[in-house]
Each structure stands twice: as structure tokens, then as C-alpha cells.
Amino acid sequence: MAEHISKQFDADLDAIRSQVLGMAGLVEEQVRLSMKALATGDLSIINQVIEQEQKVNDMHVQLDDMCVHMIARRQPAASDLRLVMTVIKSVEDLERIGDKAHKICTRAKNIFDAGKLQVPNFQELNHIANLALDMLARALDSFARLDSATASEVKRSDSQLDQEYRGLQRQLITVMMEDPRSITLTMDILWIAKAIERIGDLAVNVAEHVVYLVKGQDVRHKTQEEVDSIAKS
């Protein structure tokens, strides 16, 4: 981003960017830990993710406050205003990703409290979780490096995640139909799978915000081809 006459203005913008990256790192860790908790049933990991949710919520509120004060004091324009708006929208999506990680841990706790030593379909769950985590990591990297081309690729990856999720969904529905006794447990697994799929959707949101920040065009409702053209121009 361009330097400004006021060094304090630059310092304020840098503080906002740094805080976003700090929140992003924490949220990414939450998702990774939630999958580790699902694999191991480790109660300490489950509790760690649950406790971290409040920290993520606090960072969300703090960043919103920083952005409001930036608009009130500095009246940013052009790319500076786009940065502030991108932050406001992105931290909302990051907070929601943190919520999904928290709820995955809550479901994991339910499963292990019910005496299950292993999570059914864990390999399939872990596969789609890795896809979603890769999308999230690339979306966050594109924000850090102001890389709209990488952000566009994140959006392209969403179709693969959706396809894998639908395949797992069909498997789980078949399990419930064949064994009604599995319905409660399978519904928990299905809910976890949906939460993972939503993490991918929210990563796409962040990536779309990055394209807006870098290119100045809102691509939220554009086709993949249109996004590619804008992001890579």
C-alpha cells in the first residue's frame, strides 16, 4: 500500500493489517486443532479450542473498533478505504470460521462422551478438512501478499471441495438408511462435514474480499471466468 504524509496514518494501517493476520493465524490453528481433537478425542485440545473462541471474538470486536476509529479520524479514500472495508468483511468471516471450529470440537466431545473410540468416516472427513484448510491458508496468504491471482485460485478450488462433500454426504445418508441405530452418531458426522464445507465457503469469501482490495472490483457474484479475468489482469 502507498505511504502517506502522516506517519501515524501508516502506523494505524499497519496495526490493522497485523491484527488481522494475528486473528487469521489463530483461527487457522483452531481449525487444525479441531480436526486433531476429532482424530484423538483429546479433551485438552477440545477445551483449548473452546477457550480460544473468546479470544477470537475479542479480536473481532477490537478490529471492528479500530476500523471505525480509522474511518472517523482519517476519512480514508481509494485503496485505504478498500483496505478498511476488506478488513471489516474479512474478520466477520474469520470469526465465523472460528465458530465452526468450536462447534466441531463440541460435536467431537459429544461423540467421545458417548463412548465412541473412533470417529466413523474420519479419513473422508480429514480429506475434506485438508482441502478446506488449504483454501483458508491460501486465502490468508493472498491477503498478506495482496495477491489477487492466488485469491482467484481459492475460489476455483471450492468446486472440488463441494464435490467431495456431496460424496461424503451420500455415504452418510446410506449408512443411516442401512442402520437406523447409527442415525444419532451419523448426524453428528454429517454436521461436522457441513461445518468443514462452510469453512471452505468462508475462505472463498475472504479471497473475494482480497480481489476487491487489490483490483477495486466486487467479484462476489461473478463467474469464475470473470473473477480470473479481473484478478489476473
More confident residue, 55 or 10: 55
Residue 216 has pLDDT above 50, yes or no: yes
d(CA 14, CA 23): 14
Instruction: Please give the mean pLDDT across all residues of the chain.
Output: 92
Q: What is the pLDDT of residues 116-166, one digit of tens each?
A: 767 878 899 999 999 999 999 999 999 999 999 999 999 999 999 999 999
Model confidence at 4, pLDDT cuts 50, 70, 90, reads low
Q: Taking the model in full, what pTM does it have? A: 0.93
DSSP for the chain, written as a single string: ----S-HHHHHHHHHHHHHHHHHHHHHHHHHHHHHHHHHH--HHHHHHHHHHHHHHHHHHHHHHHHHHHHHHHH---HHHHHHHHHHHHHHHHHHHHHHHHHHHHHHHHHHHHTT-SS-TTHHHHHHHHHHHHHHHHHHHHHHHHT-HHHHHHHHHHHHHHHHHHHHHHHHHHHHHHH-GGGHHHHHHHHHHHHHHHHHHHHHHHHHHHHHHHHHS---TTS-HHHHHHHHT-
Classify domain 7-231 by CATH architecture: Up-down Bundle (1.20)
50 Cβ partners below 8 Å, 6+ apart?
A: 102, 105, 106
Give the model's pLDDT for residue 9.
Answer: 83
Domain positions in the chain are 7-231
Model confidence at 3, pLDDT cuts 50, 70, 90, reads low
Q: Give which of 129, 132, 134, 119 is closest to 172, Cα–Cα.
A: 119
Q: What is the pLDDT of residues 71-100, one digit of tens each?
A: 998 888 888 899 999 999 999 999 999 999
Model confidence at 6, pLDDT cuts 50, 70, 90, reads low
Model confidence at 5, pLDDT cuts 50, 70, 90, reads very low
